[in-house]
Structure 1
């Protein structure tokens, strides 16, 4: 079982290495690469267990994690974990955004949202953060669909837990998965 820190270490190792580890050959080649880079070799079978390529419920040895951390420029795994805790790359933060917040609208307002490629949806605000689709161009949303959201943020995807369609709830839906919403307009 791997911790969030080990999962992040694996991701950064693959980024540094320039290749996703997913085959027996990948693990054999990476084992040689790690040995050249750090002077210490980790067996391909150990790497396969850490990456979940083979089943194993044991926690990886610190020695192995130290070698992986050294591959990405840290002295050891403990130094890597300390870096994770202080790195601004992983900190939560406030940000400026062009956004439309539901509680700033009144029932009967109309909103237009869009995202790439060429998706455009017109919505009527029903109140209580509920929206009804009135027009939809090139989107999987359909006129009559109803959904709930607290806000629309330009440049961010719109994640919806479900869309109410013909009395049924759909699975979760995301609009603008790649690139986020590009159009957010209050029509009236």
Structure 2
């Protein structure tokens, strides 16, 4: 995806997440405050106004500025946003080139720590053939103790789980890391 189109897409996503298109100094100030609050990093008011076309600007934002805006929208950085948009902008199918973790190859007691987005993670443990239990979770909808079926994990792609058991409740499916995909997978083999 061409970078100017990608920037427009990032602005559109930001507008959707805000629920409005900022067009006044007060609204740009509010966006700046929300970005600081969510990411812990600040974007100058002039940078925001240039990106939204409120102030004429012929250049292109710095990578740092783009990273902050991508992080506000729950992508790891500008590059992962570009990857996500390139994937959505082209063919709707393809082979995964990245290394994948096939749940079929894991043994009972093997554990995986998955991270994505801003401070989102979980530790899952293989409890039987392609069945897992959540041992810890941070800022995600899966809860400690949830049990589910998982087939494959891949960095840069979402996590898809199904047949979720939450006590007596059954949930059909869950998708996480929709924006930007899983950023890291750590494997801890079962101690013998």
Larger Rg over CA atoms:
1
**TM-score, length-scaled by structure 1:** 0.49
Q: Which has the higher contact order (CA 8 A, sep 6+)?
A: 2
**TM-score, length-scaled by structure 2:** 0.48
